[in-house]
Amino acid sequence: MQTAEMSLFIIEDDAYFRETLIDVMSLKGVKVEGAGSGAEGLAALRNARPSVIILDVQLPDVHGFELCQIIKRSEEFKRTPIILLSASAQYNDPRDRAEGLLAGATMFLPKPITMEKLWAEIEDLVKSR
């Protein structure tokens, strides 16, 4: 998939991280839309068809695992890869990571993460599909 064909949707309450991702990916020719909460993200996803969804685990209104399950139950997104991100040391335990994957995530990555590392993971994920 060419970057011009790729689109990302990020649900992340850290506005700085969200806007940085949008700016960096835009420079790569990737369309990125974002939301700052689970409810806002679900509403905006109705009009989006992203190649990959990036989802923060700790959102202000819903747990990322729960939101991941909700998204994956939707017919239009059941095949869309979801990358879970978490800055919390709480989610460093392999059991928590497994729970995230069981919720439907394709990948679970720790924060902080460089944009280069995140881009490499996104590219590998899209290429493998």
Going by their DSSP bridges, the two strands 52-56 and 31-35 should be labelled as: unpaired
pLDDT of 1 > 60? The answer is: no
CATH code matching the domain that covers 7-127, chosen among 3.90.230.10, 2.40.430.10, 3.40.50.2300, 3.30.420.40: 3.40.50.2300
Express each pLDDT in 8-30 by its tens digit.
999 999 999 999 999 999 999 99
Q: Where are the domains of the chain?
A: 7-127
Count of other CB atoms within 10 angstroms of residue 103: 22
Express each pLDDT in 50-98 by its tens digit.
999 999 999 999 999 999 999 999 999 999 999 999 886 665 677 778 8
- φ/ψ region of 69 (left if φ > 0, alpha if ψ in -120 to 50, else beta) reads alpha
